[in-house]
């Protein structure tokens, strides 16, 4: 309002200047301007209370916006997670470990997608099948980087044992790493599939090289067979003696011994393997294995141990020498024993070593063949306590301690053979006596 007033220059009677207000009629006077000026509401000025209110309002709006954004983000994440779980229930591949309730520690293994393995195996074409075991088929595959792999598809995932086989094989990776053991390189898992990926062995299995050769392919020579015997022994010895807990393979046979590019033995198919605590001497479990390779005590009681594998290894040695299957019903046509072990025992008693050796072996060291056969028979003794350990087997293959143990075996075998002959003779005599008595009675009745 001061700018609407003019002052005079008059003095009062004491000589002091007298300021007298006069109104400036040239300007418009606003009666409420003084009041607004005192309140700080004049144009161009902002009161502190209003500034504070506006700041608080901005904070509230910003906080509300951030909260809404966080809530929306959480909602989106929840919806995404729900959608993934919903897809999982409908058998859509989930390429991560532990999507279901079961947690598996898979270390540094590669995780393959279902689509990758479909493309690698030509949608699991029957023409790519290279083997079939107790838990599924094995397919040859080629990855996008041209790496050849063997894809083992566990077809019986929902059957008891199928899922356990997957867990066992994966668990073995953390404890079983050896040059004579097949190394798992990856896996694939969906809600209904469990697939294992191994390196592809170009030379396939020992069984294939012994019995299923195609025209033009060469059979395994004797030095290679001897090297396979040593390699398989070292692989088993590692599983039994250097793994904690120890590992029982439980299905050792020529079909489960693969050959790498240098024809070195690599033990594969741990689908039947069993982890055994070192404090336990045996484990009662469901019998798994292949007829002709199963140890008698395992077949009768279901109890497996390292000696169960020793028995299977002995049968495998006989396969290497003879090239024949562990059980072959075609031998019945020649009035021979069905089981390879019994067949070899008969030929050995008749000193027919030449008839034991595979006909595809053009040349071999007869002394080395004899050593392999002796070790095989020591490994396949009926009593597991009499069988050697795999560490002892390796030494005997090298000629260390074999002579003494073989001499003991021959003595025991002679006793067993005599006892068996007596029992057989007594059985035949009793049978003939009963027949004669029956004939006499029938005659009297007439």
Which residues are known to be catalytic? 251
Query: What are the φ/ψ torsions at residue 176 (nearest 5 degrees)?
Result: -115, 95
Task: Round to whole Å and give the CA distance between 357 and 372.
Answer: 11
Q: Please, are residues 220 and 319 in contact by the beta-carbon 8 Å criterion?
A: no
Question: Other C-beta atoms within 10 Å of 219: how many?
Answer: 16
How far are the Cα atoms of 92, 306, 325, 367 from residue 372, in angstroms, in the given order?
Answer: 52, 20, 17, 9
From first CA to last CA, the distance across the chain in angstroms is 160
Task: Round to whole Å and give the CA distance between 400 and 246.
Answer: 25
Task: Round to whole Å and give the CA distance between 5 and 25.
Answer: 9
| Region at 35 (left for phi over 0; alpha for psi -120 to 50; beta for the rest) | alpha
The SS3 of residue 84 is helix
CB neighbour list of residue 20: distance below 8 Å, 6 or more residues apart: 7, 8, 10
Q: Please, are residues 22 and 8 in contact by the beta-carbon 8 Å criterion?
A: yes
Q: According to the annotation, is 395 in a ligand binding site?
A: no
Task: Round to whole Å and give the CA distance between 141 and 123.
Answer: 10
Based on its alpha-carbon atoms, the radius of gyration of the chain, rounded to whole angstroms, reads 44
CB neighbour list of residue 190: distance below 8 Å, 6 or more residues apart: 91, 92, 93, 94, 114
Beta bridge partners of 140: 150
Binding-site residue numbers for ATP are 152
């Amino acid at each position: 309002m001061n700018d609407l007033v003019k002052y005079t220059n008059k003095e009062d009677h004491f000589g002091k200047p007298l300021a007298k207000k006069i109104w400036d009629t040239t300007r418009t006077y606003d009666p409420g301007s003084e009041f607004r000026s005192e309140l700080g509401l004049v144009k161009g000025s902002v009161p502190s209370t209003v500034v504070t209110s506006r700041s608080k309002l901005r904070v509230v709006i910003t906080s509300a916006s951030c909260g809404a954004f966080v809530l929306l983000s959480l909602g989106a994440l929840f919806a995404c997670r729900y959608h993934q779980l919903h897809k999982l229930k409908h058998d859509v591949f989930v390429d991560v470990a532990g999507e279901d309730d079961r947690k598996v520690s898979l270390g540094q293994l590669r995780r393959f997608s279902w689509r990758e393995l479909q493309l690698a195996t030509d949608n699991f074409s029957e023409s790519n099948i290279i083997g079939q075991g107790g838990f599924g088929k094995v397919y040859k595959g080629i990855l996008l980087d041209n790496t050849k792999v063997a894809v083992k598809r566990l077809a019986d995932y929902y059957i008891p044992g199928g899922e356990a086989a997957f867990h066992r094989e994966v668990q073995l990776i953390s404890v079983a790493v050896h040059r004579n053991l097949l190394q798992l390189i990856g896996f694939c898992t969906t809600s209904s599939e469990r697939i294992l990926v191994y390196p592809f062995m170009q030379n396939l299995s020992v069984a294939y090289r012994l019995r299923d050769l195609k025209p033009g392919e060469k059979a395994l020579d004797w030095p290679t067979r001897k090297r396979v015997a040593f390699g398989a022994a070292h692989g088993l010895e590692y599983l039994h003696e250097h793994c904690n807990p120890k590992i029982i393979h439980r299905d050792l046979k020529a079909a489960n011994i693969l050959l790498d590019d240098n024809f070195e033995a690599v033990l594969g198919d741990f689908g039947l393997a069993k982890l055994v605590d070192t404090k336990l001497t045996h484990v009662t479990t469901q019998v798994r294995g292949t007829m002709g390779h199963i140890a008698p005590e395992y077949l009768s009681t279901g109890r497996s141990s390292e000696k169960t594998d020793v028995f299977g290894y002995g049968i495998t040695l006989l396969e290497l020498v003879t090239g024949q299957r562990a059980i072959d019903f075609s031998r019945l046509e020649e009035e021979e024993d069905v089981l390879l072990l019994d067949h070899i025992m008969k030929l050995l008693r008749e000193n027919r070593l030449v008839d034991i050796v595979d006909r595809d072996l053009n040349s071999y060291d007869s002394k080395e063949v004899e050593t392999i056969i002796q070790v095989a028979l020591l490994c396949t003794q009926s009593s597991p306590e009499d069988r050697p350990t795999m560490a002892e087997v390796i030494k005997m293959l090298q000629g260390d301690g074999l002579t003494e143990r073989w001499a003991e075996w021959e003595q025991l075998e002679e006793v067993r053979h005599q006892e068996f002959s007596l029992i057989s003779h007594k059985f035949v005599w009793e049978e003939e006596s009963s027949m004669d008595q029956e004939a006499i009675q029938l005659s009297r009745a007439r």
